[in-house]
C-alpha cells in the first residue's frame, strides 16, 4: 500500500509515514477531481441545449460535499407500499 500511494504521488516513500502518504494521496486525488469536474461542467454547459439548468463542478466531483440530498426518507409503510407497487403484479391471478 505504501508503494501504491507513493506511485500516485510520484515520490519515494522512504521519508514518509503511511498516514502522511495517505493524506497526501487523498489531497492529490481531490485536486485532480476538482480540475476534472470543472472541465466536465464546462463541457456539459457548452453542449447542453436546455439552458434552464446549468451544471456546476460539484455535480461531477465525487469528493464534493452535497448540500442537499435528493433522497427523500420514507417511513416503513411508504417504503413497503412503494416496493409492492414496483415488484408485485397488479393483476389478479386466476385459479
Q: Where along the chain do its domains lie?
A: 2-64
What lies within 8 Å, CB to CB, of 40 at 6+ separation is 55, 57, 60
Residue with cell 435528493: 70
Instruction: Kindly state the average pLDDT of the residues 3-11.
Output: 85
**pLDDT at residue 36, as a whole number:** 93
pLDDT of 80 reads 78
Quick one: pLDDT at residue 66? 60
pLDDT in tens, 28-79: 999 999 999 999 999 988 888 777 788 888 888 888 876 554 556 667 777 7
Q: Is the pLDDT of residue 89 over 70?
A: no
Amino acid at each position: 500500500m505504501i508503494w501504491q500511494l507513493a506511485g500516485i504521488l510520484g515520490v519515494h516513500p522512504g521519508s514518509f509515514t503511511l498516514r502522511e502518504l495517505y493524506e497526501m494521496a487523498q489531497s492529490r486525488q481531490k485536486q485532480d477531481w476538482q480540475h476534472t469536474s470543472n472541465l466536465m461542467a464546462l463541457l456539459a454547459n457548452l453542449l447542453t441545449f436546455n439552458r434552464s439548468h446549468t451544471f456546476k463542478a460539484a455535480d461531477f466531483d465525487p469528493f464534493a460535499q452535497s448540500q442537499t440530498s435528493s433522497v427523500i426518507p420514507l417511513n416503513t409503510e411508504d417504503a413497503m407500499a412503494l416496493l409492492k407497487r414496483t415488484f408485485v403484479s397488479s393483476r389478479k391471478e386466476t385459479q
